Structure 1
């Protein structure tokens, strides 16, 4: 049993959290090269931590040995959302997942399809109307917000505009507190972001509880009828499902999709993706591989264990880095290249090697709904638009926390395909 490469450092002084959060991708790349290992150790959040940057290590952590590694009970997600399917451990997590799975599959998923289609059309039909380049991340975030509030809370922007805007503002305040320091402080004329987030959470919970008590339709009604552990469980899960986290993740992936397929040189790829649903699926897998919306996830070793043949002592943290896992050269040839064809070749059937939304028994419970939405939104774009960067030269360097996207929001010009065809016909 080999020792983890690297050094866990000493308490406080040896902590590398700040360096990691400033540039998680560079942090891991440098240490993978230094240690010549895609699994190494450092001190993160003042805890000795194994960093997992290989497919093998990720699969062991999240699937084969998932029972040995627990969610951190002191994690900020627990403070912000309470006990949910994301934060619970052991039998509680299994029971919650069993109860909630029906909401994201089968007839429930089918019943959402018409609404998803209508939201995509309403939010994307005017991208070319102004004649000006669009800030795509903001546009896609609005699309994602309309989607989650309509699907999960039965609140639609066009039917209840005031309530909709109130919830959007509260979700934004709640999110900003999630990514701020967890210090609950109030003084005259100032309060910490975390304190503001807790206030926003309380107001959101009042709206959610009112919905659960009085709305028997759709997702709210189905959630309220489930056999959940206690009276707060349904409202805590609704708070999670409507959080700004989901629209930002959807916006991240849609932004990366439009950037990857931008410009005249990608016109054939766009046409093929529009005509062949299987090829669109492979394009989206490759977008997810290269630009995962979340940097990874963290666990705590509940007992001595091994990951990729390396000893991880009890009490160590273990964090998988999706960006690095997805670029493991042992699994993905030409790991930094955008090659959708890999998913019908060497990597066919290996979608489970991706961990953008987790993997194994604790993977995202809404992944089918997410994939359905992404395909609907992308298909609408492909059927109705050509697009390109405007201006053509932009800084597209990504920032990876809290949700990945270009640090400088990219702007893209959209031209309706109907207009393009008309122009071609006129010229002829």
Structure 2
């Protein structure tokens, strides 16, 4: 049994949390190069921690030894959402997953399709009308918010605009609790970000409890009738499901999708994705591989164990870095290249090596619904538009925490497909179009 490469440092002085959270990709790449391996140790959140950047190591952590490496009960997610299937361990987590799975599969999933389609149309139908570049991340985040609040809470933007706006603002404030120092402090005329987030959580819970008591339709009604362990479980899970986390993840992946297929040079890929469902599926797998919405996840060793052949003592942390796992050259040849074709070739059937939504028994319960969301939006975009970066030269450097996206949200111009086809010989498509051109 080998000793972990690297150094866990000493308490406080050796902590690398600030360096990691500032730029996790540079952090892991420097150490992979230094140690010549994709598993190493350091100190994160003042705890000796194993960093996993290999596909095999991730599978061992999340699948083979999921009963040894557990969720951290002191995680900020617990403070902000309470005990949910994301934060609990053992039998409680298994029972919660069994109870909730029915809401994200089968007939429940199919019954959502018409609403998902209608929201995609409403939010995406006017992308070309202004003739001006669109901040796509904002557009897609609004789309994700409408989907989440409509499906999970029966609050639809077009029917209850004031309530929708109130909940959206509260969700944003609540979200800030995950990226604020956990200091609950109030003084006259000022509150800490964490304190403000907790206040927003309490207001959201009041709205949620009212919905659970008075609404018997859709997801809310189905959730309220499930056999859950206690009276607070339904409201805590609804708080999780309407979290700003989901629209941000949705916007992250859609933004990366439009960037990957933008411009004239990607026209053939857009055509294939529009006409071949299997190819679109491969494109989305490759988008998720290269630009995972979430950088990874953290566990705590409940007993002495091993990972990738290295000894891991009880109490050590273990964090898998999805960006590193997804670019493991042992699994993915040309790991930094955008190659959708890999998923019908060498990597066919290897989706289990993707982990931005987790993997194994604790993977995201809503992954199937997320897949429906993404494909519906992508099909609409591909069917109706060509698009390009506008201006063509933009800083597309990604930030990876708390949810990945370009640090400077990119802007794109959209042109209706019927227009771009009729103007195929016009080499000026790369110039700004006027509103009259686009709507004619």
What's the TM-score, normalizing by structure 2?
Answer: 0.96
Greater alpha carbon shift after TM alignment, 413-422 vs 347-356? 413-422
Q: 1:347 aligned to 2:352?
A: no
Deviation at 1:176, TM superposition (A): 1.0
Residue number in structure 1 paired with 2:64: 64
Q: 1-side partners of 2:60 and 2:216: how far apart? A: 41
Cα offset for 1:423?
Answer: 3.3
Q: Which residue of 2 aligns with 1:244?
A: 244
For 2:161, the equivalent position in structure 1 comes to 161
Q: Which residue of 2 aligns with 1:375?
A: 375
Q: Kindly tell me: are residues 425 and 389 of structure 1, through their superposed partners in 2, closer, same or farther at Cα, counting changes over 3 Å?
A: closer
**What's the secondary structure of 2:31's corresponding residue?**
helix
Write the mapping of 1:7-406 to structure 2, written as runs, cut at 5 A: 7-406=7-406
SS across alignment from 2:163: helix
Q: CA deviation at 1:421?
A: 2.8
- Which secondary structure does the structure 1 equivalent of 2:318 belong to? strand
Cα distance between partner residues in 2 of 1:334 and 1:119: 37
Moved over 4 A (4+): 424-427
C-alpha distance in 2 between matches for 1:115 and 1:305: 47
List per-residue Cα deviations over 1:220-251 (Å, max 9, x = no partner): 00000000000000000000000000000000
Distance 1:125 1:42, change over 3 A: same
Deviations 1:123-175 (A, max 9, x none): 00011111000000000000000000000000000100010000000000000
Question: SS of the counterpart of 1:342?
Answer: helix
Unaligned runs of 5+ in 2: 428-440
Cα offset, 1:420, TM superposition: 1.8
Shift of 1:424: 4.6
Secondary structure of residue in 2 paired with 1:122: helix
1:43 counterpart SS class:
strand
Residue 3 of structure 1 aligns to a residue in which SS?
A: coil
**CA–CA separation in structure 1 for the residues paired with 2:345 and 2:14:** 44
The structural deviation recorded for 1:422 is 3.5
Q: For 1:13 and 1:320, how far apart are their aligned partners in 2?
A: 23
Q: Deviations over 1:54-88 (max 9, x none)?
A: 00110000001110011000000000000001001
Matched residue SS, 2:423: helix
Q: Secondary structure at the match of 1:96?
A: helix
**Deviation at residue 418 of structure 1 after TM alignment:** 1.7
In structure 1, distance between residues paired with 2:309 and 2:280: 37
Deviations 1:340-386 (A, max 9, x none): 00001110000000001000000000000000110000000000000
Give the Cα separation in 1 of the matches to 2:130 and 2:258.
Answer: 19
Partner of 2:369: helix, strand, or coil?
helix
For 2:278 and 2:360, how far apart are their aligned partners in 1?
24
CA distance in 2, matches of 1:424, 1:274: 18
Say which SS state the counterpart of residue 181 (structure 1) adopts: coil
Q: Distance in 1 between the 2:84 and 2:201 partners?
A: 15
Question: How many residues are matched?
Answer: 427
* Secondary structure class of the residue paired with 2:112: helix
1:199 is displaced (CA, Å) by 0.2
Q: Please state whether the residue corresponding to 2:100 is helix, strand or coil.
A: helix
For each residue in 1:281-309, what CA deviation from the matched residue of structure 2 results, as whole angstroms up to 9, or x when unmatched? 00000000000000100000000111111
What is the CA–CA distance in structure 2 between the aligned matches of 1:305 and 1:125, rounded to whole Å?
53
Aligned mates of 1:408, 1:381 — CA distance in 2: 22
Stretches of structure 1 lacking an aligned partner (at least 5 in a row) = none
- Offset, 1:257: 0.1
- Root-mean-square deviation (Å): 1.0
